[in-house]
Amino acid sequence: SKDILGLEEMDVGDIELILETAESFKEILRRDIKKVPTLRGKSVVNLFYEPSTRTRSSFELAGKYLSADVINFSKATSSVAKGETLKDTAKTIEMMGVQVVVIRHPVPGAPHMLARYLDAGVVNAGDGAHEHPTQALLDLYTIKEKKGRIRGLKVAIIGDILHSRVARSNIWGLKKMGAEVVVAGPRTLLPPFIEELGVRAYTRVEDAIEGADVVNVLRIQMERQKKGLFPSPREYAIIFGVNAERLKLAKKDVLLMHPGPMNRGIEISSDIADGESSVINEQVTNGVAVRMAILYLLNGGGKFGEKDN
Ligand code: CP
């Protein structure tokens, strides 16, 4: 495939290839090498229709470290404000000679539509509540780096599962890599039929965290909740927030993860977010290596997507 649209459709071989390639780039970054000529002459556009700190900045750095030219497009300062469609915007940028389009869009399936329309590679950087594959890949990378494996681990994903593209991509990726996945959150934030994805679902956070090797806490997405948060942020913290007491139920060497941005004091308490189990900062660092691997593979490095070709 020329695109990375989601982990639902990605086969295990390609997931493993991305993780292995990311390891090579992590080693380069460990040596503080911030420029390799791999993508000299190539161009990447970050086409973001929703806000982002981590994903957009790390794709920009990943491209620049590989010597690609990177342009950042933002909805507010572009001709989208004059009514230009997504298709026309993307085609316009492609015709300037761009090889990879990284897109974040509020509509599920927007990257898939663009992938059919463009010759350029398309990377889904988050489409509504559907998928965020590069986040899940950096989460998989971080778990493998810290635990040495993914297979057989118990991973608890806690919080707003309903609105979470991170949860969906993580569930597909983790299951394919052989992990046991459980989820927990308020009944109002658990999608119906979630167990059809092969996960166990709980409404008591404690039941999910019990014996977990990894606890991945999700952001409460206030902006996607039309009627405001139910329960309220304060109630949420008391009943569902992950804090030191609840984290004690997990394995002693548990990894505490969060994709960011965090609502400190709501879904996660500050003491554990900054505590010794937390790998939240490492997730961010690993995001650069994983996105370097993705840009490298989509530009013809390695044998990504061979099965489809
Ligand atoms: N985790 C994540 O996607 O963060 P940003 O929204 O800051 O990119």
ipTM at complex level: 0.98
**Distance of alpha carbon 86 from alpha carbon 253, whole angstroms:** 45
167 neighbors 183 (Cβ within 8 angstroms): yes
For ligand 1, pick from 47, 48, 55 the residue to mutate: most ligand atoms within 8 Å of CB. Answer: 55
Does the beta carbon of 55 sit less than 6 angstroms from any atom of ligand 1?
yes
Helix (H) or strand (E) holding 201: strand 200-202
57 Cβ closer than 6 Å to some ligand 1 atom: no
> How many CB atoms are closer than 10 A to CB 276?
6
**For residue 230, what pLDDT is reported?**
64
**Residue 284: Cβ-neighbour burial (10 angstroms; 0-12, 13-18, 19+):** middle
**pLDDT for the residue 26:** 97
Residue type, 239: I
**Residue whose CA is closest, atom 1 of ligand 1?**
259
219 is in an annotated binding site: yes
pLDDT, position 301: 81
Q: Could you list the pLDDT tens digit for every one of the 309 residues in the chain?
A: 899 999 999 999 999 999 999 999 999 999 998 899 999 999 999 999 999 999 999 999 999 999 999 999 888 878 887 889 999 999 999 999 999 999 999 999 999 999 999 999 999 999 999 999 999 999 999 999 999 999 999 999 999 999 999 999 999 999 999 999 999 999 989 999 999 999 999 999 999 999 999 999 999 987 767 666 666 889 999 999 999 999 999 999 999 999 999 999 999 999 999 999 999 999 999 999 999 999 999 998 877 777 654
Residue 165 marked in a binding site = yes
Cα(261) to ligand 1 centroid in Å equals: 6
The structure's pTM equals 0.95
**The pLDDT of residue 309:** 45
Compute the distance between CA of residue 44 and CA of residue 122 in angstroms, rounded to an integer: 10
pLDDT score recorded for residue 305? 77
Residue 15 CA to residue 305 CA, distance in Å, equals 10
Is 103:56 a contact under the CB 8 Å cutoff? no
Does 246 count as an annotated binding residue? no
Q: Is the CB of 185 under 6 A from ligand 1?
A: no
Give the Cα separation of 118 and 255 in Å (integer): 39
- Helix 54-65 with 133-147: angle, nearest 10 deg: 80
CA 208/CA 250 separation, integer angstroms: 9
Q: For ligand 1, what atom is nearest to the CA of residue 104?
A: 8
pLDDT at 272: 98
- The CB of 188 under 6 Å from ligand 1? The reply is no
**Is 283 a known ligand-binding residue?**
no
CA 68 to chain centre: 22
